[in-house]
């Protein structure tokens, strides 16, 4: 039976990065990049004003994908991992459950400030500097003013979304889906993987995987990560 692999992007990123996964995964896995407002093929849509708005939108767009009863798994990197976890909570409240959650680039299910201050407190130069410091900024953006200008409103909105989610999301209800938590050995945003927090977040099995690399370790370990997903799905 085919399985839908629903993928959510990192802060400031586009789900289109997951299109290339199709060539690396077996045919029974249907890769579905779930795009967020304000980027990719939804670039003309307004950025989310709150975490609740983002979660409602993702739920609204996911439910039709599951109408046939086909099994599904969720994958998210960094902010996408946080969104995937909360989306799973929402889906479980509606009687649906992912076969597996793959949560990448997060040391803990709880949001913690990785920029040294709330994003609303940072000017553009400080924001770019902080992002570059933990490897969250592609060199092409740092070197081109126009690209930075287009990128900054998206990344600001995404971090505000995370800050809002940390203040409003109910983290007390564990999910029932098994988790695989993936992190990079040199990722300063996830350098202390909090096993206890992750074990509390699911009533099922939680597996931990470490890979070489920094925050975007998935790019340099893409083959082994897709092999892991294929073997477990």
Average pLDDT over residues 203-223: 94
Residues 61-76: tens digit of each pLDDT: 999 999 999 999 999 9
The CATH topology of domain 3-232 is Rossmann fold (3.40.50)
pLDDT at 138 (0 to 100): 59
pTM of the model: 0.92
pLDDT at 116 (0 to 100): 67
Binned at pLDDT 50, 70 and 90, residue 56 comes out as very high
Residues 172-190: tens digit of each pLDDT: 789 999 999 999 998 877 7
pLDDT at 115 (0 to 100): 67
* Alpha-carbon gap, residue 233 to 185, rounded angstroms: 25
Residues 83-133: tens digit of each pLDDT: 999 999 999 999 999 999 999 998 888 766 666 678 767 888 888 877 777
């Amino acid at each position: 039976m085919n399985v839908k692999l629903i993928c959510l992007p990192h802060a400031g990123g586009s789900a289109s990065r997951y299109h290339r996964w199709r060539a690396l995964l077996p045919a029974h896995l249907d890769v579905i990049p779930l795009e967020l407002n304000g980027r990719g093929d939804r670039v003309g849509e307004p950025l989310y004003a709150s975490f609740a708005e983002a979660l409602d939108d993702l739920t609204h767009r996911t439910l039709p994908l599951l109408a046939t009863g086909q099994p599904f798994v969720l994958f998210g990197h960094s902010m996408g991992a946080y969104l995937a976890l909360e989306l799973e909570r929402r889906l479980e409240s509606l009687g649906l459950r992912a076969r597996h959650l793959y949560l990448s680039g997060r040391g803990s299910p709880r949001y913690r400030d990785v920029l040294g201050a709330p994003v609303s407190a940072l000017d553009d130069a400080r924001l770019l500097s902080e992002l570059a410091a933990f490897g969250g900024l592609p060199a092409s953006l740092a070197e081109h003013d126009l690209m930075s200008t287009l990128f900054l409103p998206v990344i600001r909105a995404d971090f505000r979304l995370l800050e809002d989610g940390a203040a409003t999301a109910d983290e007390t209800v564990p999910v029932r889906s098994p988790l695989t938590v993936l992190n990079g050995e040199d990722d300063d945003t996830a350098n202390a993987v909090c096993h206890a927090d992750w074990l509390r977040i699911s009533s099922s099995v939680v597996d931990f995987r470490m890979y070489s690399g920094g925050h975007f370790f998935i790019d340099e370990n893409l083959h082994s990560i897709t092999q892991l997903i294929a073997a477990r799905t």
